[in-house]
Amino acid sequence: MSSRDRVLGRVRRALADVTPHDGPYEEAVGRDYLREHGERTTGRTVELLAENLADYRAIVHRAGAEELPDLVARLLAGRGSREVLVPPGLPPGWLSAADVVRVQDLAESTPQRLDRVDSVVTGCAAAIAETGTIVLDGSPDQGRRRISLVPDHHICVVRVPEQVVSSVPQALERLDPVRPLTWISGPSATSDIELDRVEGVHGPRTLEVILLG
Amino acid sequence: MSRTFVGMPASPPPAHPAFPKAARDAVRNPTLRENLRHATHTIRAKRAKAVAELSDWAGLREAGRRIKDHTLHHLDRYLEQLEESVTAAGGTVHWAADAEEANRIVAALVKETGESEVVKVKSMATQEIGLNEALEAEGIRAYETDLAELIVQLGKDRPSHILVPAIHRNRGEIRDIFRAEMGAWGRPAPEGLSDTPAELAEAARLHLREKFLRAKVGISGANFMVAETGTLVVVESEGNGRMCLTLPETLISVVGIEKVVPTWRDLEVFLQTLPRSSTAERMNPYTSMWTGTTDGDGPRTFHLVLLDNGRTDTLADRVGRQALRCIRCSACLNVCPVYERAGGHAYGSVYPGPIGAILSPQLRGTASEIDASLPYASTLCGACYEVCPVAIDIPEVLVHLRERVVQGGPAVRRGDKVVLKPAKGHAAERAAMRAARWAFTHPGALRAGQRLASRTRRLHPRALPGPGRAWSGTRDLPAVPAEPFRDWWQRTQGESGEQGAGK
Amino acid sequence: MRVALFLTCVNDTLYPDTGRATVKLLTRLGVDVDFPSGQSCCGQAHYNTGYRHEAEPLARHFSDVFGGYDAIVTPSGSCGAMVRELYPRMGERARAEGRGDALARTLAPVVPKTYELTEFLVDVLGVTDVGARYPHKVTYHPTCHGLRSLGLGDRPRRLLRAVRDLELVELPGAEECCGFGGTFALKNAEVSAAMGADKVRSAESTGAQVLCAADNSCLMHIGGTMSRSGSTMRPVHIAEILASTEEEPAV
């Protein structure tokens, strides 16, 4: 007998007392909870996103389309970043004012190579106001998962209000599970020392979020 | 098929002293007591605040309970669906009936890659099966990359908490471990390392970075597996999970079969309840979700090892199966007054605290000394049930397992129906319980006993010798009154009262 | 309304003062209270230690003795929770074991009629000021089964706040278990004692003279710890405080 058959057989025998539910799944579970917490205007939802991002130590900036290139340039210069990782589909204008070396994430680039890059600039797939979360899904303006992981400085541009949702349930509705997803809420952190949160372990230690709109 | 059964739990019985004995050392260790008190009290207050932010917490908790119960009740259906989805997305699914088989599968998969080291993201399932030791025996070195796991691994220590395995260590102890041990495993601790948490985190970052960047094989668990899409989810804080899940060429995930949920939408419940229950955050810093393999992004090869190892035995128990709802948040540990004093090591398992006290004796059976004592490692105060985000009635299961210990009875071990014998060492207690039951159903005898106690009360000591010292070693006995209440009542109110059907 | 006092075996044997206080208090509030002498033990110690089958005859006996009353009042959150929460569960288990509905049917009538004392006062009698006077500084420890199984909430505190000349001070970490836990106190004596000692320390930090609770078994553990450590605080059951008046003060 294969282990698959053994385990499934055990499961079936273990459930001998259970009458299976054959109706639609949603009927079986019922969901008596909210789709979002509280009613807010679009503007207020964006405000909440900014507050919650900042609460977990992301640095939040705002810019209109014309100001964005200068802001990005200023942020990179402020950190002294020389090399910047660029996803393949990043709008070219975003880095147009920055005096930096643009590094493409090539198939042959090793993680060690990426580790020498100072910063990365990406877009995002969605942002969640209630939790202060940005979600990347590997679209061309975000690139592969590793590029927003290895560099120590991540600048993420969120188009507001269109990319902002209120809540976790609303975010899941928008996201495609087939794509590799990374949910980011602040810079990397740990609670492993005395159960107290400290920022800055393996992921980017500085997360800057630009609300573009 | 049914047979009398005495030993052979699903994993070898742990050679670990019973809980009361193991807890004694912790209770007498003031540093450990203070470390645990500080950490658990810090997180308790924060959790309460994070939960209070959501007005629909009760609804989320109930939905979580229902989703998990429904899934468990149809587990075969959802496991088959999951296998199909993962396979369609480019992954390979393996099934492991027990720890030994899971270890064998993982070791073989690592060997196929030709590698002799792997990076690991914290996973309860791989700890439960002793994967690191099994790989070591095959000449493969496993590096733990979670900060707390690193502290435990470097300190040649055992984990004592589900979420924060090094909770029993304070910052000073962690600094000493890093200074003494990091060099033997790779990059040594920086000169002059202090005990500030930020510097300790930085030291871990530097130490592990070279390992992440060169790793070819990553090993993980998963918090959730979605049957309809084949998506796996890992919830973490530090970024070590993202490193292990995305940089290596091969990813092997070892996941308990109870971690499956039916639909993508179900994540909307648990991604709200898990972070708030566990680290008391609105959302944890990083959550990774992947479905099979993706061309040009992340590992090219993905293996999923579905682990039973006592879970189906637990599933067969109508009362005990609710323990399989657990999402490993550790809120029950943080709120437990017994855990706070006894520490995690006393539980003799990778699953300490209240959830461990109901999970270990089910996954491993109640044959060993430690497993037979765990159901009693609780005052039944109910704080664990109150905070559980999937409403596991831990006190209910504890009492149920106490019954199994003292009475024995039918159970399932390794898929076979067995009849357990009552555990040893409860004969005197059983006799006392029977005698008390007899006296309580014969009020005449009860009254005679009460009167005898009252009449001889001046002779009663306030402390007891022998086994009675369990009480009176630290507590005075109450004084026995001059007369029991019922005598006063009879004297002053007469026999006017309803006699009921007292026999 | 025919009201029965379910005093509990522990109170009957060791804490008759609590019984007398409960009778005095209820009588003062116009309740005609009876003490059915056939009563003994609800079976909680048996049930919670794993001897459910030994607890069943005790539960049936309880139902026989108390089934005919309109309300059953007990000065114990823990024993009250046994009847209200665990009797129905015993019935379900018997059913699941293929023993039919007999036990569930026998126990069902007493379940909704059983009230913990403070619940009976606030919810059934609708009083919070019971006319008591108690000129002492008091801190209140909510015992676990009253707090979490019965959901007594702030009822005991509301009753205490209405007592004349009583100064109520908050107990830090009030909702944390005292470490009694029935047979836990013996089986895990060291952890139990450590929890008890911490509870006493918290209570002493309030500067109160009296630690009040609605369960004498927890007070036996806390009080035994206090007396061993030479504390000057006294453990007092809430019934004794509520029964105390200007004319007949509690000792």
**What are the sequence ranges of the domains in chain C?**
3-124, 137-243
Q: Taking CB atoms and an 8 Å limit, are C51 and B406 in contact across chains?
A: yes
Alpha helices in chain A (DSSP H): 3-14, 25-29, 42-55, 68-79, 111-115, 168-174
Nearest to A200 among B198, B294, B321 (CB): B198
Q: Considering only residues 6 to 65 of chain C, which have any Cβ-Cβ distance to chain B shorter than 8 Å?
A: 7, 9, 11-17, 19-20, 23, 34-41, 43, 45-55, 57-58, 61, 64-65
Residue in B closest to A108 by C-alpha: B296
Q: Residue C9's pLDDT is what?
A: 94
Contact predicate B337/B330, CB 8 Å: no
The whole-angstrom distance between B14's CA and the closest CA on chain A is 24
- In the prediction, which pLDDT does B4 show? 38
Looking at residue C209, its amino acid is Q
Strand C71-74 with C3-5, pairing: parallel
- Could you give the 3-state DSSP secondary structure of residue B168? coil
DSSP, residue by residue, A117-142? --EEEE--SEEETTTTEEEE---TTT
Q: How far is A164 from chain B (nearest CA, A)?
A: 16
CA nearest to A8 within chain B: B76
- Chain A residue with CA closest to B201: the answer is A201
Tell me the C-alpha to C-alpha distance, in Å, between residue B458 and each of B387, B461, C18: 46, 8, 21
pLDDT score for B472: 87
Cα(B32)–Cα(A194) distance, integer angstroms: 12
Q: With contacts defined as CB-CB under 8 Å, which chain B residues touch A149?
A: 239, 242-243, 246-247
pLDDT of residue B6: 35
Closest CB to B283 among A133, A180, A190: A133
From chain B, pick out residues whose CB is under 8 angstroms from the CB of C144.
379-383
Alpha carbons A4 and B39: distance in angstroms, whole number: 42
Contacts of C181 in chain B (CB under 8 A): 378-381
Helix (H, G, I), strand (E, B) or coil at A159: strand
* Residue extents of the structural domains in chain B: 3-44+330-420, 427-493
CB contact under 8 A, B239 and A25: no
Shortest distance between the Cα of B436 and any Cα of chain C, in A, equals: 9
The chains in contact with chain B, meaning 3 or more Cβ pairs closer than 8 Å, are: A, C
CA B281 to chain centroid, in Å, comes to: 21
Burial string for A163-190 (b: 16+ CB within 10 Å, else e) reads bbbbbbbbbbeebebebbbbbbbbbbbb
Residue of B nearest to A133 (CA): B283
DSSP string of C185-245, one letter each residue? HHHTHHHHHHHHHHHHHHHHHTT-SEEEES-HHHHHHHHHHHHHTT---EEEEHHHHHH--
Whether residue B283 and residue A169 make contact (CB cut-off 8 A), yes or no, is no
User: Pick from B146, B170, B262: which is nearest to A194 by CB?
Assistant: B170
* CA proximity to A152, closest of A83, A49, A74: A83
Choose among B85, B169, B149, B128: nearest CA to B347: B128
Q: Which two tokens stand for residue C166?
A: 């009583």
Burial status of residue B45 (CB atoms within 10 A of its CB: 0-12, 13-18, 19 or more)? exposed
User: Does C217 reach chain B within 8 Å, measured CB to CB?
Assistant: no
- The pLDDT value given to residue C251: 67
C-alpha C207/C-alpha B89 separation (Å) is: 66
Smallest CA–CA distance, residue B257 to chain C, in Å, is: 26
Residues of A with Cβ-Cβ distance to B282 under 8 angstroms: 52, 55-56, 130-132, 185
Tell me which chain A residues have a C-beta less than 8 angstroms from the C-beta of B167: 194-195
Alpha-helical (H) ranges within B159-299 are: 171-185, 197-214, 240-246, 267-278
HSE-up of residue B156 (Cα within 13 Å, Cβ side):
4
3-state secondary structure (DSSP) of residue B118: strand
Instruction: Collect all residues of chain B within an 8 Å Cβ-Cβ radius of residue C215.
Output: none
Q: Which of B416, B374, B345 is nearest to B155 (CA)?
A: B345
**Strand pairing class (A153-159; A206-212):** parallel
Cis before B197 (ω within 30): no
> What tokens does C119 get?
């619940």
Lay out the sheet containing B3-5: strands in order across: B3-5, B416-420, B409-413
The per-residue pLDDT for B437 is 87
Q: Is B474 on the interface with C (CB under 8 A)?
A: yes
Query: What is the assigned CATH class of domain C137-243?
Result: alpha beta
Buried-exposed string C217-227: b where 16+ CB fall within 10 A, e elsewhere: bbbbbbbbbbb
**Residue A199 has what pLDDT?**
83
- Give the DSSP per-residue string, C114-172: EEEHHHIIIIIS--S----B--SEEEE---HIIIIIS--TTHHHHHHHTSBT-EEEPPT
Nearest to A138 among B212, B226, B297 (CB): B297
Give pLDDT, residue A193.
Answer: 86
- Min Cα distance B19 → chain A (Å) is 24
Q: Which two tokens stand for residue B460?
A: 């009663």
- The residue among B345, B407, B437, B472 with the most chain C CBs within 10 A of its CB, best to mutate, is B437
Contacts of B67 in chain A (CB under 8 A): 29
Q: Could you read off the pLDDT tens digit of each residue along chain A, which spans 213 residues?
A: 999 999 999 999 999 999 999 889 989 898 999 999 999 999 999 999 999 999 999 999 999 999 999 999 999 999 999 999 999 999 999 999 999 999 999 988 899 999 999 999 999 999 999 999 999 999 999 999 999 999 999 999 999 999 999 999 999 999 999 999 999 999 999 888 887 778 888 999 999 999 999
For the ranges B305-309, C105-109, C247-251, the lowest mean pLDDT is seen at C247-251
pLDDT value of residue B463? 74
> Is A192 within 8 Å of B285 when comparing Cβ atoms?
no
DSSP B89: T
Instruction: Give the count of beta carbons closer than 10 Å to the beta carbon of residue A119.
Output: 25
* Rounded-to-integer distance, Cα B85 and Cα B105, Å: 21
- C36–B381 CB contact, under 8 Å: no
CA proximity to B30, closest of B151, B168, B144: B168
Q: Calculate how close chain B gets to C89, using CA atoms only, in Å.
A: 9
The strand pairing partners of B420, in sequence order, are B5, B409
Nearest Cβ partner for B483 among C16, C36, C193: C16
Question: Looking at residue B432, what is its pLDDT?
Answer: 87
Confirm or reject contact between B428 and chain C (CB < 8 A): no
Are C189 and B470 a contacting pair at CB < 8 A? yes
**% of chain C exceeding 70 in pLDDT:** 100
pLDDT computed for residue A186 by the predictor = 92
Residues in chain B with pLDDT values less than 70 = 1-14, 494-503
Using CA coordinates, name the residue in chain B closest to C17: B485
Q: Are the CB atoms for C104 and C88 separated by under 8 Å?
A: yes
Nearest to A194 among B38, B266, B334 (CB): B38
Q: Do B171 and A185 touch (CB under 8 A)?
A: no
Of B97, B269, B298, the CB nearest to A7: B97
What pLDDT is attached to residue B1?
Answer: 38
Could you tell me the two tokens for C68?
Answer: 């005919």
- Please tell me what DSSP assigns to residue B416: E
Candidates B488, B484, B497; CA nearest to B446 is B484
Closest to B353 (Cα-Cα) out of B334, B369, B370, B367: B334
Q: What confidence tens digit (pLDDT) does each residue in C167-199 have?
A: 999 999 999 999 999 999 999 999 999 999 999
- Compare all CA atoms of chain B with the CA of A184 and give the residue at the minimum distance: B286
- Joined together, the tokens standing for residue B277 give 């229950």
Greatest extent of chain C over all pairs of C-alpha atoms, in Å = 58
Q: Would you call C224 and B440 a contact, using CB atoms and an 8 Å cutoff?
A: no
Structure-token pair, residue A118: 């100072």
CB of C156 within 8 Å of a chain B CB? The answer is no
Size of interface B-C (CB pairs under 8 A): 230
CA distance C135 to chain B (A): 25
pLDDT digits (tens, 9 = 90+) for C93-103: 999 999 999 99
* Binary contact (B290, A180; C-beta < 8 A): yes
In the prediction, which pLDDT does B23 show? 96
Residue C136's Cβ-count burial label (10 Å; 0-12, 13-18, 19+) is middle
**How far, in Å, CA of B145 to CA of B207, rounded?**
10
Residue B7 makes CB contacts below 8 A (sequence gap 6+) with: B13, B367
**pLDDT at position C232 over 90:** yes
Whole-angstrom Cα distance, residue B251 to residue B194? 35
Q: Which residue from C minimizes the CA distance to B25?
A: C190
Interface predicted TM-score (ipTM): 0.97
State how far the alpha carbon of B404 is from the alpha carbons of A5, B280, B408, C186, in Å. 29, 35, 5, 20
Best probe of the C interface among B379, B406, B488, B490, by most C CBs < 10 A, is B379
Domains annotated for chain A, with CATH where assigned, are 41-212 (3.40.50.10420)
Residue closest to B57 by CA, chosen among B277, B323, B207: B277
